[in-house]
């Protein structure tokens, strides 16, 4: 029951193959698709190639799979990460023409992501037309957010344009809840504050395993300070940028030149820590301050706090950032073991603590494979 998980970007294609026990048996990628020198990594097939399209990239990955002893014929299905499912696609599903049409209808909501996701699905259908395809959506986990949290205070005609809070990183949060259940022998804390911290960063309030509030909104730009994204800003400040730089220029500044990069000169937290400049220290402090401040808002939305969990590249690996955020959450009863945090242990809270604190490894690809297998087995 091997499942191929596909994550298609605008110029990249990443895949992983999982067996029936959800063990990863192969991973591969092609980067710089359409460029002069694409890079291929798929089993023993490694090196620079000219790769003109996602279909060509997928064909190379299949070639590498065959050489690695993972034949395409062994696949039972393919499963895709899709960034935006809009208001209609709120659960994993099998890909049909109707689903493709809905994903395409969401392109205006995620113009940098959904076109690439569609390209991946269509490229795979062209190469292996009889292989069933499934999709998991980054927005779906947040379909349980109450309407009062999802609606912007704008007229109905404006909301009809699709302007509402959708939230993202949902596949990561679904995986986190699953792993927290494993930690808790099948149960989850009633009120869990989850931080997905990486180049893209968000936080989510999860009550009884369901999202009730999250920091990202209409797009992944809102909320926390991120690698190159500004996070939350006054709408009039955005309009002023658009007035001076044009809409495209403002979008580039807010998405590509802001966040840690705009404040500290680097988008990578490790580079900022090594730099040690006043600007770098301020950028890190800004990141942590807004994580704590948004965390406090989510605690209010949940009506209290029983556990905190960190995932993502920064969340899993940066002890200093975790410590600063946890110190900022002390008002909510959070305590942590400094030694365990410095060592990157899975459990960070001391014995007898009122609030549990964990590091949870991100497993988005495995989550996507699991959701596809569940649907294949007849699950809802």
Which 3 state secondary structure label does DSSP give 109? coil
Q: How many CB atoms lie within 10 A of CB 187?
A: 11
In sign, the C-alpha dihedral spanning 339, 340, 341, 345 is: positive
Q: Judge whether 138 counts as a catalytic residue.
A: yes
DSSP letter for each residue of 25-91: EEEEEEESTTSSSEEEEETTEEEEE---SHHHHHHHHHHHHHHTT--GGGEEEEEEEES--TTT--S
What the block records as the tokens of 257 is 């030149």
**What separation in angstroms does the CA of 216 have from each of 5, 33, 150, 176?**
25, 29, 11, 17
The closest alpha carbon to 291, from 264, 318, 257, 255, belongs to 318
Among candidate residues 19, 130, 138, 318, the one labeled active-site is 138
Measured CA to CA, the distance from residue 213 to residue 329 in angstroms comes to 18
Q: Phi, psi at residue 82, to the nearest 5°?
A: -120, 130
Residues belonging to the active site = 138
């Amino acid at each position: 029951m091997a499942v191929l998980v596909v994550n298609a970007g605008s110029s990249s294609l990443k895949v992983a193959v999982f067996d029936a026990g959800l063990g990863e048996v192969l991973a591969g990628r092609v980067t710089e698709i359409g460029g002069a020198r694409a890079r291929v990594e798929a089993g023993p097939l490694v090196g620079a190639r000219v790769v003109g399209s996602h279909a060509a990239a997928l064909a190379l990955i299949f070639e590498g799979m065959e050489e690695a002893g993972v034949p395409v014929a062994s696949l039972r299905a393919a499963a895709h990460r899709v960034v935006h499912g809009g208001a209609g696609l709120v659960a994993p599903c099998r890909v049909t023409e109707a689903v493709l049409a809905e994903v395409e209808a969401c392109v205006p909501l995620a113009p940098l992501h959904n076109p690439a996701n569609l390209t991946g699905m269509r490229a795979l259908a062209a190469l292996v037309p009889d292989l069933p395809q499934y999709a998991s959506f980054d927005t779906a986990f947040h379909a349980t957010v109450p309407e009062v949290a999802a609606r912007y205070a704008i007229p109905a005609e404006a909301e009809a344009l699709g302007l509402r809070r959708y939230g993202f990183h949902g596949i990561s949060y679904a995986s986190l809840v699953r792993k927290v259940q494993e930690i808790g022998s099948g149960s989850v804390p009633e009120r869990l504050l989850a931080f997905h911290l990486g180049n893209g960063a968000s936080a989510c309030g999860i009550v009884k395993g369901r999202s009730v509030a999250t920091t990202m909104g209409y797009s992944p730009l809102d909320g926390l300070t991120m690698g190159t994204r500004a996070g939350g800003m006054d709408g009039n400040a955005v309009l002023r940028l658009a007035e001076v730089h044009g809409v495209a220029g403002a979008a580039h500044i807010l998405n590509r030149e802001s966040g840690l990069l705009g404040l500290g000169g680097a988008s990578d937290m490790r580079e900022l820590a090594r730099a040690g400049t006043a600007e770098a220290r301020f950028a890190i402090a800004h990141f942590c301050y807004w994580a704590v401040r948004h965390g406090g808002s989510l605690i209010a939305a949940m009506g209290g706090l029983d556990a905190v969990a960190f995932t993502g590249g920064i969340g899993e690996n940066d002890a200093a950032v975790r410590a600063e955020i946890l110190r900022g959450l002390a008002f909510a009863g959070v305590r942590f073991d400094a030694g365990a945090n410095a060592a990157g242990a899975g459990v960070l809270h001391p014995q007898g603590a009122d609030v549990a604190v964990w590091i949870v490894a991100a497993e988005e690809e495995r989550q996507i494979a699991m959701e596809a297998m569940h649907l294949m087995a007849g699950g809802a």
